[in-house]
Structure 1
Amino acid sequence: MTAASSPAVPVPSVPPALEVTDLHVRFAYPRPAVSGISLRVDRGEIVALVGESGSGKTMTARAAIGLLPDGATATGSVRVDGREILGLPEKDLARLRGDRVAMVFQEPQTALNPVQTIGWQLRQALTRHSGLSRAAVRARAVELLRLVDLPEPEVRVGYYPHQLSGGQKQRVVIALALAGDPALLLADEPTTALDVSVQREILELLVRLRERTGAGILLITHNLGVVAEIADRVVVVQLGETVETGDVGRIFAEPSAPYTRQLLAAVPRLDTASRDSRRHAAHGPTPVVVVDGVTVEHPGSFGSNPHVALSDVSLVVESGEVVGVVGESGSGKTTLGRAIGGLLPLAGGRILLDGDDLAELSGKDLRAARRRIAFVPQDPTASLDPRFTVAESIREPLEIQRIGDRRSRAARVAELLSAVQLPTSFASRLPHELSGGQRQRVALARALSTDPKLLIADEPTSALDVSVQARVLELFAQLQADIGFAALFISHDLAVVRQVSDRVTVLKSGRVVESGSATRIFVQPATDYTRTLVHAVPAPDPERDRLGRELLPATS
């Protein structure tokens, strides 16, 4: 028999990094957490799992790493690198974690041990998953940090987490996940807590790692712009069931399911009209807030020089308008909001509220001034007392400010619940009985209880799903138009800021880079820094803005 006629030697096929078939996860609740989800992630592929909170995304990922909560029962099949996960003994699952499957968490600060160096934490992971010597382990730790593009890895391997920025900490978390050379990476909202430019760096890193390591990546996210930029395929889930699945281009161009169309329609976009082009605020004769050359310093530690958080910052918020504040982490956005709210001392400059200098007020006058300012926090779960009912949370500012009597306060609670579109029956509920969007509505009602002239909203929607975010932003705009309060809207999500703001101030390293109308800032940014921020925003359009393709030219 000639060589040409010899039978071909069969080539063993590589199993998928993850194959989930008809997965059901049940608790002691009427509705299953997961009800028949199926998906596949091949080696070297990024598959996005999208859907609202409660859709089964995280439970599917936890099933893939063998970390389902106590009391959960799972049926179906979950195979990682060809091995069945469901039913494996814990000792086998422990060996599998890190070696074949690893997880990248949403919040790197809580994923890292604050009292141990980065090198120590990497050594623990490497020692567990390899038989390398101590010297080889350190060399591999440095190699992993270099793989995730951490600057000066030989030096930073000896750093503690608090010495790194948010983006650098996330790179360390990814390096830890890669320590065992896994076939599958589970990335659970890996960029939600990051500002737009750092988010882009992490997305670029994930794409490079997919190419360098050949690992499959299951990306769990509610940011459809992120999905459009890096995913190969998309799986859309709702209430524990698969709604549709397909190539990323097809899903975004021709979604077949009404739910998918609903999610896409809710995404804020930079190419939509800004508030300033749709309406004109009815400005009063006196601005609500004037920030005039404000400098804020934080004390240095162990005798070091003070850290200048804000330097000669000026802006004006007029009656009936929303001023957006954007910039990277550490730019001074939150510090500015806290300073305007009278929560930080000033090292220079002044802040006028309705013409009154806050630094010169005391006693009753200061109490009356603070009544005119309210905050909407980023995380309503942390801001609402878990022991207080909804009514008690909304009523508390009225009691602190000694506004009204018991009957008028009860009427005010009912009025505010109606204003934020919650049933009056919610008054007796506790925070844990509400969804994230409902809790944020309660936080809005609480902030509005004293009828403030200025609302300071610090990242009020960053923790919400895209559709819930859309409803909260719509409610915010409606309340602002109806009541007429002025607002300072702080966010790292530039598309959200464009949607809600009349004017925008851009901060960098505690200084104002530029200010102007929302349309001008986002369509014709005047500085390279602002252009960098605008072009880093993920767009929900795989054909227009895909990592690895040339981006649209900057508008000069």
Structure 2
Amino acid sequence: MTAIDTDVPALEVTDLHVTFDYPRPAVAGISLHVDRGEIVALVGESGSGKTMTAKAAIGLLPAGATATGSVQVDGQEVLGLSERELTEIRGNRVAMVFQEPQTALNPVQTIGWQVRQALTRHQKLSRSQTRERAVELLRLVEIPDPEKRIAYYPHQLSGGQKQRIVIALALAGDPALLLADEPTTALDVSVQREILDLLVRLRDRTHAGILLITHNLGVVAEIADRVVVVQLGETVETGEVQQIFARPTDSYTRQLLASVPRLDAADRTQRTDTGDRTAPKPVVAVERVTVEHPGSFGSKSHVALSEVSLVVQPGQVVGVVGESGSGKTTLGRAIGGPLPLSSGRILVDGQDFAKLSGKELRAARRRIAFVPQDPTASLDPRFTVAESIREPLEIQGIGDRRSRATRVAELLTAVQLPTSFAARLPHELSGGQRQRVALARALSTDPELLIADEPTSALDVSVQARVLDLFAQLQADIGFAALFISHDLAVVRQVSDRVTVLKAGRVVESGSATRIFIQPATDYTRTLVDAIPFPDPARPRLGRPVAPTRVNGG
């Protein structure tokens, strides 16, 4: 490992401007610095310039971008370098940890091959030295049995292990600066905790500076030393993490902090738990359902759900939580009807979908609607907003042309979008606006049950708060029941009446949201709850000293 000059910042950004052929610059004067051995969080909503600032630091600005100001990495100016010069500093001085490890890794090459490629690009090593260093890197990021796993392919690793491999690739050249762009957003809460803990330990071992780009302020409170808040391409506030959380000076920072869902907050909807009442006809009754996926090419079959039972009463929101692979999404798909059951049955409004066919099944499925995780992928880019909302009505043969147009206008108003948005295409909307359109589309047929699968995980914290408030308001006004699937337990706490916890396809416990999160009955649930990043840096943090006193309002 090369000698470290601690007097030279890992990153020094001064009055950075990045412009395209748009009316508003992507970055309009951001300044920040990251010292060696510290973690600086860069936070702000989508479009605030966070990722563009990171791309400027590694020389990956899109074609057509013009950058002015200064960006120095480990003392070297990056702006204005040729591609050949940038290639020399990438990996050696600065490296990036991407949000989605599945797309960052080559699926047809072994882990060892990919790590060796990163090593030999910047260092002259023999074959044996390369393998030894590759194993050392896997051990550094705490991959179990690195001598064995080096021969694995990405599909043989879990999501958390793949993210560790991406971090190992970034560390191959001993960089002074790590750019971590939403490194835990795609991970469930327990794996997220492991990766955050790993980042802290790597900071201590390598003394690299880390620029952490995230919209999760709980993550910021857990591991950041300092915080830089940006809005519309400008720096609006910067300071020590304890100061930013306890005494924010900018109204935008206060807005972001107020938007964070918290386990210790009161239920904003103030619902009454109806789980212990007897309802004559639940909206959904899942009775001892097992779903088994057959194996292929000689592999064993996989049991995705095993003897799962669950009830959703009219007007009730039931949260479903658990780690990746616990069966959450499979449960939602099974209730929706397209997924065949191996055993058990699912009754929707008293009807067993498995015994319906033709017109009866089509009519029954009108009672269920889905809100997807990513509205960008679920909305046809060629359809206007009106066409997207109207399509379920046309498929189900509901109403005529005039009544459908009236219904579209009513739904746009209900989800708090101007009726003029009916003529817009999805690319003309923000992420939060697209999710509102997805909600309107789901509600178009007046469903009795809404299945929401990670509906806010891709949204910034303030946009997420507005969508969750809208969801609660619509649920209270319209009275639909909902199955709310999420790996974000704080969000589930906010919107749910009851919660079911899944592990490896089985229900480990179920009960009121208050009881599950305040007094969990199983070790597994307690582990999930304890792993949630808490938006208060005055609490015990990962590998960090705790603030001596807690400031009121923090």
1:15 corresponding residue in structure 2 = 8
1:235 pairs with 2:228: yes
Looking at structure 2, the residues matched to 533 and 108 of structure 1 have their Cα atoms a distance apart, in angstroms, of: 22
2:477 corresponding residue in structure 1 = 482
Query: What's the CA shift string for 1:256-278, capped at 9, x where partnerless?
Result: 00000000000000001237864
Looking at structure 2, the residues matched to 304 and 75 of structure 1 have their Cα atoms a distance apart, in angstroms, of: 56
Q: 1:244 to 1:550 in 2, by over 3 A?
A: closer
- Give the counterpart of 1:390 among 385, 388, 392: 385
Looking at structure 2, the residues matched to 347 and 267 of structure 1 have their Cα atoms a distance apart, in angstroms, of: 40
Contact 2:269 2:495 in 1 (8 A): no
Q: Give the residue type in structure 2 aligned to 1:495.
A: A
1:7 corresponding residue in structure 2 = none
Query: What's the CA shift string for 1:55-77, capped at 9, x where partnerless?
Result: 00001000000111111111100
Looking at structure 2, the residues matched to 458 and 283 of structure 1 have their Cα atoms a distance apart, in angstroms, of: 27
1:321 corresponding residue in structure 2 = 316
2:502 corresponding residue in structure 1 = 507
Root-mean-square deviation (CA, aligned residues, Å) is 1.4
Identity of aligned residues (%): 84
Residue 547 of structure 1, CA deviation: 1.0
Alignment of 1:29-428 (within 5 A): 29-274=22-267, 278-280=271-273, 285-428=280-423
Residues 28-37 or 218-227, more deviating: 28-37
Please give the TM-score of this superposition, normalised by the length of structure 1. 0.96
1:462 pairs with 2:461: no
3-state SS, counterpart of residue 347 of structure 2: strand
Query: What's the CA shift string for 1:174-228, capped at 9, x where partnerless?
Result: 0000011100000000000000000000000000000000100000000000000
Looking at structure 2, the residues matched to 12 and 216 of structure 1 have their Cα atoms a distance apart, in angstroms, of: 12
Residue 171 of structure 1, CA deviation: 0.3
3-state SS, counterpart of residue 528 of structure 2: helix
Residue 285 of structure 1, CA deviation: 2.9
Q: Give the residue type in structure 1 aligned to 2:389.
A: I
Contact 2:269 2:472 in 1 (8 A): no
Contact 2:372 2:453 in 1 (8 A): yes
Q: 1:542 to 1:255 in 2, by over 3 A?
A: same
3-state SS, counterpart of residue 318 of structure 2: strand
Looking at structure 2, the residues matched to 398 and 413 of structure 1 have their Cα atoms a distance apart, in angstroms, of: 10
3-state SS, counterpart of residue 370 of structure 2: strand
Q: Give the residue type in structure 2 aligned to 1:541.
A: D
Q: 1:13 to 1:206 in 2, by over 3 A?
A: closer
Please give the TM-score of this superposition, normalised by the length of structure 2. 0.96
1:6 corresponding residue in structure 2 = none
Residues 268-277 or 184-193, more deviating: 268-277
Contact 1:447 1:455 in 2 (8 A): yes
Q: Give the residue type in structure 2 aligned to 1:305.
A: K
Looking at structure 1, the residues matched to 278 and 248 of structure 2 have their Cα atoms a distance apart, in angstroms, of: 43
Looking at structure 2, the residues matched to 12 and 501 of structure 1 have their Cα atoms a distance apart, in angstroms, of: 51
Contact 1:277 1:519 in 2 (8 A): no
Looking at structure 2, the residues matched to 514 and 276 of structure 1 have their Cα atoms a distance apart, in angstroms, of: 24
1:491 corresponding residue in structure 2 = 486
Residues 203-212 or 120-129, more deviating: 120-129
- Give the counterpart of 2:519 among 505, 515, 524: 524
Contact 1:273 1:519 in 2 (8 A): no
Q: Give the residue type in structure 1 aligned to 2:109.
A: Q
Query: What's the CA shift string for 1:273-328, capped at 9, x where partnerless?
Result: 23786435598531000000000001112123210000000000000000000000
Q: Give the residue type in structure 1 aligned to 2:289.
A: V
Looking at structure 2, the residues matched to 53 and 444 of structure 1 have their Cα atoms a distance apart, in angstroms, of: 20
Looking at structure 2, the residues matched to 50 and 31 of structure 1 have their Cα atoms a distance apart, in angstroms, of: 19
Q: Give the residue type in structure 2 aligned to 1:221.
A: T
Looking at structure 2, the residues matched to 323 and 550 of structure 1 have their Cα atoms a distance apart, in angstroms, of: 38
Q: Which runs of 5+ in 1 are unaligned?
A: 1-10, 552-556
